[in-house]
Amino acid sequence: MRKLSLFLLLLFILTNASAQKATDYRKQQNYKEWVHIAPKFDDDFFKTEEAQRIGDNVLLYQQTTGGWPKNIYMPAELTEQEYNAALKAKKDTNQSTIDNNATTTEIEYLSRLYLATQKEKYKEGVLNGIQYLLKSQYENGGWPQFYPRPKGYYVQITYNDNAMVRVMNQLRSIYEKKAPYTFLPNKICEQARNAFNKGIECILKTQVRQNGELTVWCAQHDRVTLEPCKARAYELPSLSGQESDNIVLLLMSLPHPSADVVKSIEGAIKWFQKSEIKGIQKEYFTNSDGKKDYRMVPCEDCPTLWARFYDLETNRPFFCDRDGIKKYDISEIGHERRNGYSWYNKDGSKVLKRYEKWKKEQNK
């Protein structure tokens, strides 16, 4: 009896700790936090009433397409006005997107909630969300940023911010029946597998050649021609040292890669190696207007960098303001874009490190 009492007390403490954590998150009211905190909830949390309250918000914001809009803070306690606005927005299908981790985050959350509660409404939300991902895929295998939005750069095949790769990784988890997708029917899993394979085909077809050599990818590719294309004014057609890293990591994760996949990986690795930027790093300072700013300065033994954008012809790193004019030095663009966008990254190092292991695996 005493052991049972201790067990119930421990369960009560853990459950309330999870609920308190959710309540603390709720107070933040920061829409950008949702996609970061949602995957961090532990399994015990999904057994709480708070988890279901959030899950009901997730269902409320699910649009008639099956997808979700981005930048919604799902744990918020909604006023009647906010609830009615969300209800009305369900029919605004132009807002359904895979941008900023939208839709994939909600599918995962509802899947975990269904496993904990066995409530059919959460399962239905998952199935509708997966169907949205399947419907929004182009015949050529690519995914647009928004669907079914009819025009704008949103309709192009979108690698930007890991959008397409994130969808593909979720579909792979689905057809492999990894947690929390263990409850999905075989038909859905097979559809997910087919969509994933088409996505790989699209990746291979969109890899850019420079002087006849395979390189990497642009952040966006034209949905018809598959050529690199522009998005926002400062996001010009380019070779992307930011978005291409996760594409290569995805390709290297494939078991028994085909000859075409191997060629793709090898071409991308050569590009990452020749496009390294060494001997410079950021130095922060306060400018004459009292604003925090940075400049690139020489350094020794500092991490290797890659630029976000490289010229399609010359492979020279470039930077851009909202006027859409290429600049070849970060100091030549304005403070707002210099500090409001990620122009350099270190992620290529992860690719090169993983390649060493991948190469050994292929030679076994």
* 301-344 pLDDT, tens digit each: 999 999 999 999 999 999 999 999 999 999 999 999 999 999 99
Dist. CA 320–CA 325, nearest whole Å: 6
d(CA 169, CA 146): 18
Instruction: Put residue 101 in one of left, alpha, beta given phi > 0 → left and psi -120 to 50 → alpha.
Output: left
Q: Which of 52, 49, 178 is nearest to 122 (CA)?
A: 52
Mean pLDDT of the chain: 93
Please tell me the predicted confidence (pLDDT) of residue 29: 54
What is the predicted pLDDT for the residue at 18? 47
- pLDDT, tens digit, for every residue of 87-122? 999 988 999 999 999 999 999 999 999 999 999 999
12-206 CATH: 1.50.10.20
Q: Is 100 a catalytic residue?
A: yes
- In this structure, whether the domain defined by 214-286+294-364 belongs to CATH 1.50.10.20 is answered with yes
Give bridge partners of residue 310 from the DSSP assignment: 239, 317
197 a catalytic residue:
no
Residues of the chain with CATH 1.50.10.20: 12-206, 214-286+294-364
- Tell me: pLDDT of 24 over 70: no
Q: Which of 26, 53, 232, 354 is catalytic?
A: 232
Read off the pLDDT band of 229 (50, 70, 90): very high
**Which run of H or of E encompasses 261?**
helix 259-274
CB 124 within 8 Å of CB 132 = no
| Selected catalytic residue, list 57, 100, 101, 246 | 100
